[in-house]
Chains A and B, each alone.
Chain A
């Protein structure tokens, strides 16, 4: 619960509103406790039969005035306190989003998208509930209770004690039952999360499910998850269903006792009927605040749990940050050096903690790419090519050695500058569900028509545009769903080209593009790449042979390094690779 103090800085910005809101709560609560008092005066005068019509009118008027004043203060109280809660929620949401934008890939691979979404929605809303209705309600409850307590004690001590001692008991019921409830509720929610994830993954992979006619098997799993969810929910209902009736029962018993004891006091002449009526009115007035207080306790606990989840994100240090003294790189030349670079993926699973440190994924990698030259990376599936190029723009940092751009360790460079210098065409294309044009122009602040036209020409995307009714304004489906594999890749190429980078990284960027088109793209890229550094990862010899240097990765190390001709002389992996393609050519001739 201590973690809730992290909310203080967010609330401090609105302290004036909160303070005034609380003052309104105090005044409002005090004023509202006066109306039972007025009722009592009226009833007492009535019971003794001494009342005049004019004083009845006066009491009625008083009640109205009290209600008006109370309403006015409640209005401001609500506006200020609840308003603040939304404002804080807004600030928190933005802070959370900003953090998401900064966090590194290892964070994202540990958390489901759905879970990260839930933090920005459900968890935030739990916290807002505490800050808004929670504070608002408990302020009203506490102040009303105190004011009413004073007035009651003033009237009759024994009766007041019954009310004041027993009423909080109902709050206690709430807290006790509530505690048990919450534990069950967490389980219910977790199971709900499982359910949602199941639905999400199933529908994302529907093509696969259908292709293998696995609908029934999936349904069976889903049904089992559902049954479990129902069982848990019912366990929760046993408790939660009892809660409200129990509270009503508790409050009712207090009321009955007041009637019993109060009635005897009246008969004994120690209490007037008006005072009994006053007590009755307080009981009604206090019952909601009592429930509210119990509710607040559970709000606090929920908010604390949610805050934990938020803090996990908010206090998580991004592994990749801008260095404190960042060296700017306004005019990158594009020289790349790797010195003794090593990478290993640590397993995030807790049960693997005992196992020894994972082996090096990449080990002792050193090479130099002069500005304006090209490097080709080849190697077996899973050899670590993608991991290696990801080091350049600091998608992650190496676990050993250094990566230098223009002779400066990338960890010292200004992150924005560094990433501006490099353009990636990633192996797996991610497109946003916006128009093609917006996707192509994604990486730049402003793009004029000519620049976009150039980028789509270089990437040969222009060839396909007339297939779409809206041309370049065509909307792209979720993750690029409505495009063919090659079209998606070429959008990504256009997107990278448009940025006009010093270093261009093509990670298997032509794998889904046919040979003809890819030859065309390569020729046009050749023009574009003059004077720029490029790194090309590919599985086809034709794509890599013209590179200034070629590196073959094998078992996490550089196995071969040189130009096409040099490597052919070596007769190693690279030669074998070329031979495989050649073989085909020779065989068929």
Chain B
């Protein structure tokens, strides 16, 4: 097994800069509606940071004042101030925290909904390229990272800064010589933090990258576990996973090592500062330019001043993660849907009749590898057309173009004479229902699987659709009937049953003109299929329909057959015409029926 897939996750592991104004400006509109509350939150935070500086000052006052002079009454005043400062801090911090988190939650919700809407309207070509897991990460983890940036990254750095500056100011006001002594070590500390942060950055990237690989692998292995079991590949899978896990472990161990070195080093710096303070302060006390209380207060201040700097490493990581997430989110937001509604949509003339025309349509998923190589086809309103052809000929691709899942690179497709690119997608798709080749089932009840979350489809209509495709027979036998819980991907239904559900769904949405069946009953037994066809024949009278099927019995009722081969229309005509032609279709036909006819 190759690890070639690793570069596919690079997107998930880029570690951006710690600060990128461009990205922040892009995210700003999401925060803007809460600007005033954010301002208040910042004010509260600054207040809290300032009120936290007070206590050591009070300690100094107490020691140099009442305690050394023996005036006990003064102590009460200081105690009251102390308690006041504590309560203020508490109130400010708590209200800040509540406020900022409520902003964060609101921003996250807005952003998630925005992203969901955006990704949902992106074209299928985008979804083909991006695994679901990756898109999920955008909406969950990446948004979370931004929230963390908002609620604890950015603001706390600000608070740290305020604290640091406040402490330095107070220290200088109290005693500039002591202040210089205790701050002398700061540049070295800053240097250590910078180095640590550099080293960790690479390690974090490695960790994230390896975790992403583990997750992707895990996801696929869980989804495909049955295949692995049936083919007896558990052991290789386990080995592969063990290797990945070991790589991840190794990356983590590296980060443990760095951290284990970093923390004691910072501690040592603090000790050096304290020792220097003790020494310098001692000299000061002896020399009369410092007091004992100051010395004790300075010891506390120094320790407090260390905290913001030590935190910086952690905050920096949050910042970086947030920037990387922002980058990815902006990347998604900037992805324009290739299929877009026109600025001035045209409305279809009513009543919609359902004439479809394709003119010189060329299309490829990769523009350099055309799948459809010049298709011209006119389907008059009300005609039932079958498309047959070898597998991979481009049948599904062709009908995908009609619903405008993709746009052709060349040529035009019209519905009732109007280029479908001039229509709103909603309007177009309201007239089309297609039953796809792979039936999709969602977890939820049978009923929601048929009508999705549409509120327009009532129970009666839903049941009617299920009855038409003969799905009702099996549904009613399930425990719970229409309330039967379908599992993820329809795991507790047979494939034929899933196809019937997908079929029922198409009918429930009651397309007004065009019904597309892409091998809609390929896994359904022929008896059920025959019943469906009778029902359909009644229903479809007057509507245009396109049927793709390999079983020719499925297309017995069509007016016309189009044979597609390697992306081109090679035969086109009624059943009899094509038989007479002795071409592809007649060969196909004979293959399927010759055998039985001999015995019949």
Contacts and interface: CB of A to CB of B under 8 A. Distances in A.
A276 B64 CA distance: 13
28 contacts: A39-B299, A56-B278, A74-B264, A74-B267, A78-B256, A109-B491, A110-B487, A113-B488, A195-B112, A199-B116, A208-B505, A211-B403, A212-B509, A217-B453, A222-B112, A245-B97, A249-B87, A393-B230, A395-B226, A416-B232, A419-B231, A419-B232, A423-B231, A427-B523, A487-B391, A540-B551, A582-B596, A588-B579
B4 to A, nearest CB: 8
B388 A514 contact: yes
B227 A539 contact: no
Given A46-B286, A63-B271, A79-B260, 10 more contacts: A75-B260, A86-B252, A117-B215, A218-B120, A255-B55, A256-B82, A416-B232, A427-B495, A581-B596, A582-B600
B70 interface: yes
A584 B552 CA distance: 9
Contacts of B249: 86-87, 89-90
Given A508-B495, A514-B389, A381 B268 contact: no
A478 B132 contact: yes
A46 to B, nearest CB: 5
B43 interface: no
A419 B127 CA distance: 36
Interface string B448-483: 000011110000000000000000001000011000
A434 interface: yes
A60 B118 CA distance: 62
A267 to B, nearest CB: 5
B592 A542 contact: yes
Interface in A431-462: 432-435, 438, 442-443, 445
A120 B524 contact: no
A324 B588 CA distance: 53
A330 interface: no
B344 interface: no
Contact of A75 (B90, B264, B433): B264
A90 B523 contact: no
Contact of A245 (B89, B241, B365): B89
Interface stretch (B102-110, B171-179, B193-201, B328-336): B102-110
Q: Please classify how large the interface on chain B is, using the bins under 10, 10 to 19, 20 to 34, 35 or more.
A: 35 or more
Given A117-B215, A539-B551, A101 B282 contact: no
A219 B252 contact: no
Interface string B47-72: 00000000100110011001110101
Contact of A201 (B220, B248, B488, B600): B488
A197 interface: yes
Interface in A243-273: 244-246, 248-249, 252-253, 255-256, 259-260, 263-264, 266-267, 273
A16 interface: no
Q: Can you list the 3 inter-chain pairs with the closest CB atoms, starting with the nearest?
A: A486-B391, A71-B264, A67-B271
Contacts of A464: 391-392
Contact of A517 (B222, B263, B391, B396): B391
Q: State the main secondary structure of chain B at its contact with A.
A: helix
A183 interface: no
Given A196-B140, A442-B227, A482-B365, A229 B242 contact: no
A112 B443 contact: yes
Contact of A217 (B90, B390, B454, B479): B454
B491 to A, nearest CB: 5
Contacts of A489: 391
Interface string B392-422: 1000100000010100000000000000000
Nearest to B58: A259
Contacts of A47: 292
Contacts of B311: none
A3 interface: no
Contact of A207 (B260, B299, B405): B405
Contacts of A422: 230
Interface stretch (B27-35, B157-165, B182-190, B424-432): B424-432
Given A71-B267, A443-B231, A513-B550, A217 B452 contact: yes
Contacts of B113: 219, 222-223, 226
B580 interface: no
A117 B452 contact: no
Contact of B479 (A46, A352, A430): A352
B6 interface: no
Interface stretch (B17-25, B350-358, B526-534, B536-544): B526-534
A484 B392 contact: yes
Contacts of B271: 35, 63-64, 66-68
Residue of A201, A229, A487, A511 contacting most chain B CB atoms (<10 Å)? A511
B82 A381 contact: no
Nearest to A438: B1
A116 B83 contact: no
Contacts of B573: none
Interface string A93-122: 110011011110100111011001100110
A248 B434 CA distance: 62
B278 A59 contact: yes
B530 A580 contact: yes
B265 interface: yes
B494 interface: yes
Contacts of A66: 271
A242 interface: yes
B524 A539 contact: yes
Interface string A516-532: 11110000000000000
